[in-house]
């Protein structure tokens, strides 16, 4: 059941591009602040529904809280900065190294090679999808953007790894959301101009993002990381850009491409390789 929560989180992240189109006119950090504040409110909605104390303190320690904040806020901050200094295609490809890294991090020693090979196969599919089969070029002038994108991959895979080891309550994601919302507000004040009027579409988009890919998904991911199949979740995370593309096609915002099916084949093959269980070699008694 916990693994299913992780799959749901991946599906919600797949909806990010579609829902993001509803709010694309809003400043990035202002939008991040509002989405994470909605995520924080989910904590109180949950406690009201389950009749729990509303102001129960978080169970994360100081070091764990810092790791959580760095993971959640650091990822989004680096992503926005990466897009500022490098093209979207290259940034997206580098960021999607995180499932490969996570797969290697959580794999057992006897399955490390499988995790690396499977992750690389899946990543080839993502390269094909994002570049639409046209390839891409690395340009030294975008080095800073590439560095921020690589930081995204490292931050999110590391955050996911550490959360598997923390024995905290899922409600702590709500408190982390509050801290991230405050940091996003400060970043907005420093980097951006405030938009004060929202259309009905933008307002709906903000709440849907906060309930889903930029909020609710983090609660589901936390549950899945602690009790679900981590290797399988890392492999299936490569489906996120595929799901985004399919939803955009269904919404008639982009055209269908055969690259979708080719990428899906690579991702599924990569997942199968990553999750193949290598049996430990048995010691022959005759040699004892």
Rounded average pLDDT over 276-282 = 62
Domain map (residue ranges) of the chain: 2-276
Under 8 Å between Cβ of 204 and 20: no
User: What confidence score (pLDDT) does residue 281 get?
Assistant: 54
How far is the C-alpha of 46 from the C-alpha of 170, rounded, in Å? 11
For residue 283, name the pLDDT band (cuts at 50, 70, 90).
Answer: very low
| Percent of the chain surpassing pLDDT 90 | 64
How far is the C-alpha of 12 from the C-alpha of 31, rounded, in Å? 17
For residue 136, name the pLDDT band (cuts at 50, 70, 90).
Answer: low
For residue 279, name the pLDDT band (cuts at 50, 70, 90).
Answer: low
Q: Virtual CA dihedral for 205, 210, 211, 216, nearest 10 degrees?
A: 150
CA atoms within 13 A on the CB side of 69: 15
Q: What is the pLDDT of residues 64-101, one digit of tens each?
A: 999 999 999 999 999 999 999 998 888 998 999 999 99
Q: Virtual CA dihedral for 212, 217, 220, 224, nearest 10 degrees?
A: 150
List % helix, strand, coil for the chain (3-state, nearest 5): 75, 0, 25
Q: What is the pLDDT of residues 8-44, one digit of tens each?
A: 999 999 999 899 989 988 999 999 999 999 999 999 8
Q: b/e for 25-58, b at 16 or more Cβ within 10 A?
A: ebbbbbbbbbbbbbbbbbbeeebeeeeeeeeeeb
| Percent of the chain surpassing pLDDT 70 | 95
């Amino acid at each position: 059941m916990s693994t299913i929560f992780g799959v749901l989180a991946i599906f919600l992240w797949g909806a990010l591009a579609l829902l993001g189109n509803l709010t694309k006119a809003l400043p990035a950090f202002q939008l991040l602040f509002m989405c994470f504040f909605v995520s924080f409110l989910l904590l109180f909605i949950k406690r009201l529904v389950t009749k729990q104390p509303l102001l129960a303190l978080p169970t994360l320690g100081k070091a764990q809280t810092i790791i959580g904040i760095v993971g959640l806020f650091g990822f989004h901050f680096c992503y926005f900065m990466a897009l500022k200094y490098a093209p979207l295609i290259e940034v997206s490809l580098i960021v999607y190294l995180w499932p490969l890294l996570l797969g290697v991090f959580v794999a057992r020693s006897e399955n490390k090679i499988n995790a690396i090979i499977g992750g690389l196969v899946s990543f080839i599919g993502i390269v094909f999808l994002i570049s639409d089969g046209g390839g891409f070029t690395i340009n030294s002038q975008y080095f800073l953007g590439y560095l921020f994108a690589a930081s995204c991959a490292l931050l999110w895979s590391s955050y996911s790894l550490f959360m598997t080891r923390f024995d905290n309550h899922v409600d702590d994601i709500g408190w982390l959301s509050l801290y991230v919302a405050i940091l996003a507000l400060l970043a907005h004040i420093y980097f951006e101009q405030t938009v004060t009027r929202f259309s009905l579409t933008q307002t709906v988009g903000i709440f849907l993002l906060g309930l889903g890919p930029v909020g609710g998904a983090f609660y589901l991911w936390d549950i899945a990381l602690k009790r679900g199949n981590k290797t399988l979740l890392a492999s299936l995370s490569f489906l996120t850009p595929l799901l985004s593309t399919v939803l955009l096609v269904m919404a008639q915002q982009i055209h269908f491409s055969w690259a979708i099916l080719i990428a899906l084949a690579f991702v599924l093959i990569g997942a199968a390789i990553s999750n193949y269980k290598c049996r430990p070699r048995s010691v022959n008694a005759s040699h004892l």
